[in-house]
């Protein structure tokens, strides 16, 4: 799957992923009204609105992008009905040929991680059947429990040719509280990064490993260091746009081959119509605003990478 | 909710929680056959089997125990249908008066943690409604992202009078890989524990905080230290039974008031009928085996605490 992701990044010339993290107040009124008319002001109504909203954005952007990253929390907040919308979103993205990165940040002791891995990336044994549940292509994983919490994910990745992105340095303001804590002069995230590189060596694709890392765009100096520590690791980079990072902050997350990183934007794309910059589209044409925001984001990153290559 | 949990621990004189972590191969054949007959060898069939299995155990043990801890991964592996069984299990436990600790180990950046907190502990705003989704009483939470990933859970706990247990030191063999890493001579889990105590001070119940911690039973020396670092923190202790810890290992997780810790056993209780010790019950009476295993576990812990008090 890492090979397919890279192929689709090359084909679209867009090292980006659209974060499908729909808050209900991002969804234009015409969609919410229709869903509430059908299902009432219920969890099912909210889930339907979110799904219809996603569908519009996917239709408007799928030819421009290699991948999407639905954030499961935004669906889980609507309970079982929300998770049905998550499932529908994944299936629809697959129909459209997109790689799906499930931003689930799961991680537990071995036997429990095995269940998460089966449910999200692999197959669950039911009698004589082996059945897929959520069936994402990649999942994000939390490393706090150490190797035996990660290994079951790697095992399933090997069986299914799928991948994971392990949290190394997250994009939020307080990520340093534990992740930056120094041990023998080195921050925890470097130890995690070294471990990600070691796990990754056990399952390589053509040029990059199936085992990737998450390093936030909001800490560009960390990105530069982690790029060197994990040269064969694909880096999923959250924090672009609404969280503050720009294309120029991102150049050191990439390798000289122009690959090695994929940059996420969520709110900046899916709620673009709410920004002054894209206000002319209006709520009725929210998906066209998202399309324009994708084009602008890709142009920003391309030009930053281009400028960096010239220097 | 921490007050209610403590009240129920006192009433049952049982500082334990039953981990409802059903693997399909724990479920007796008569239940699996019936569910497959109705729903086929499908995710819905598996989810139904797990739910019927849980129901039997809940009915057989609910008068003896204060709380249950369903592990969501075991349901999530069966996709949306599995999560329906998770929801039904929570609702049924509430009907039976049990406190429900959702072992979800969620944690993300602020806005995303807020969605998890709403979905599991709080209410989600849908139009003019404020709706509960999964509605557990407590949730386990991963601290890797730091304070701004935890604060939204605390905010919802304050609104709803609910609680969380933050992972400090987990019970699995490789938990030390990152959690034990020394910084200025002190392991990471102590820094996390100090932070849990600080978060906890902001939201106290009568004697203990609504903000608890997870410290594995498999590291009793750590338990002893963490008890002192977090005197007002309730400690959820996994690792008893199938993972190897015994009652005598647990005495230092408790305070002198006999409170302060709640010990989980999952497989050791719910799959008791598969152990030689309880084989006489047979698969037909698996729930009676679970009841006996609860009685034995409570007796083991009581006698260890009694012996410790005498010394």
**Interface with B, mutate which of A71, A87, A127 (most B CBs under 10 A):** A127
**Inter-residue contact B31 to B55 (CB < 8 Å):** no
Of the CA atoms within 13 Å of residue B184, those in its CB half-sphere come to 3
Q: What is the pLDDT of residue A266?
A: 96
Cβ burial of A130 (10 Å; 0-12, 13-18, 19+) is: exposed
Q: Which residues have C-beta within 8 Å of that of residue A6, sequence separation ≥ 6?
A: A205, A206, A207, A208, A234, A259
**Inter-residue contact A74 to A26 (CB < 8 Å):** no
Q: What is the mean pLDDT of chain A?
A: 96
Query: Taking CB atoms and an 8 Å cutoff, what residues of chain B touch A84?
Result: 80
Q: What is the mean pLDDT of chain B?
A: 96
Q: What is the pLDDT of residue A311?
A: 61
**E strand residue ranges, chain A:** 16-18, 67-68, 99-106, 123-126, 129-132, 138-141, 163-169, 182-183, 186-187, 211-215, 235-237, 261-265
**Inter-residue contact B81 to B114 (CB < 8 Å):** no
pLDDT-based confidence at B308, cuts 50/70/90? Answer: confident
Percent of chain A at pLDDT exceeding 70: 99
Positions of A annotated as catalytic residues are 105
**Interface with B, mutate which of A145, A218, A245 (most B CBs under 10 A):** A145
pLDDT-based confidence at B244, cuts 50/70/90? Answer: confident
Q: Is the ipTM reported for this complex over the cut 0.90?
A: yes
Q: What is the pLDDT of residue B246?
A: 86
Residue contact A76–B119, C-beta within 8 A: yes
Q: Quickly list DSSP for A201-229.
A: HTSB-SSSBSEEEEE-TT-HHHHHHHHHH
Can you give the pTM of this predicted structure?
Answer: 0.97
Residue contact A43–B131, C-beta within 8 A: yes
pLDDT-based confidence at A201, cuts 50/70/90? Answer: very high
Distance from CA of A310 to the nearest CA of B (A): 35
Distance from CA of B183 to the nearest CA of A (A): 5
Give tens-digit pLDDT for B154-210.
Answer: 999 999 999 999 999 999 999 999 999 999 999 999 999 999 999 999 999 999 999
Query: Taking CB atoms and an 8 Å cutoff, what residues of chain B touch A134?
Result: 76, 79
Query: Taking CB atoms and an 8 Å cutoff, what residues of chain A touch B32?
Result: 127
Query: Taking CB atoms and an 8 Å cutoff, what residues of chain B touch A115?
Result: 23, 71, 73-74, 76-77
Ramachandran class of B148: left when φ > 0, alpha when ψ lies in -120 to 50, beta otherwise: alpha
Count CB neighbours of B307 within 10 A.
Answer: 12
Residue range A175-189: mean pLDDT, rounded: 97
Give tens-digit pLDDT for B92-151.
Answer: 999 999 999 999 999 999 999 999 999 999 999 999 999 999 999 999 999 999 999 999
């Amino acid at each position: 799957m890492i090979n397919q992701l890279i192929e689709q990044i090359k084909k679209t010339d867009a090292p980006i992923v659209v974060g499908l993290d729909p808050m209900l107040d991002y969804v234009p009124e015409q969609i919410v009204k229709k869903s509430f008319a059908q299902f009432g002001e219920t969890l099912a109504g909210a889930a339907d609105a979110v799904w219809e909203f996603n569908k519009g954005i996917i239709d408007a952007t799928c030819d421009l992008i290699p991948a999407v990253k639905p954030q499961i929390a935004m669906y889980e907040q609507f309970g079982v009905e929300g998770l049905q919308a998550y499932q529908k979103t994944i299936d629809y993205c697959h129909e459209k040929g997109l790689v799906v990165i499930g931003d689930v940040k799961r991680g537990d002791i071995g036997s429990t991680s095995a269940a998460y891995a089966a449910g999200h990336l692999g197959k669950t044994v039911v009698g004589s059947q082996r059945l897929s549940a959520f069936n994402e292509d990649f999942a994000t994983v939390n490393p706090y429990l150490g190797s035996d919490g990660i290994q079951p994910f790697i095992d399933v990745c090997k069986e299914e040719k799928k991948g994971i992105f392990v949290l190394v340095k997250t994009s939020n303001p307080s990520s340093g509280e534990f992740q930056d804590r120094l041990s023998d002069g080195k921050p925890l995230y470097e130890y995690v990064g070294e471990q990600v590189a070691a796990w990754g060596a056990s399952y390589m694709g053509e040029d990059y490993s199936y085992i990737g890392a998450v390093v936030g765009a909001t800490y560009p100096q960390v990105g530069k260091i982690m790029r060197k520590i994990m040269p064969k690791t694909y880096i999923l980079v959250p924090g672009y746009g609404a969280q503050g990072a720009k294309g120029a902050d991102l150049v050191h997350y990439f390798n000289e081959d122009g690959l090695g990183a994929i940059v996420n934007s969520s709110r900046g794309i899916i709620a673009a119509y709410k920004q002054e910059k894209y206000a002319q589209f209006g709520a009725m044409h929210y998906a066209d605003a998202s399309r324009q925001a994708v084009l602008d984001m890709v142009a920003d990153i391309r030009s930053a990478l281009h400028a960096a290559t010239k220097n």
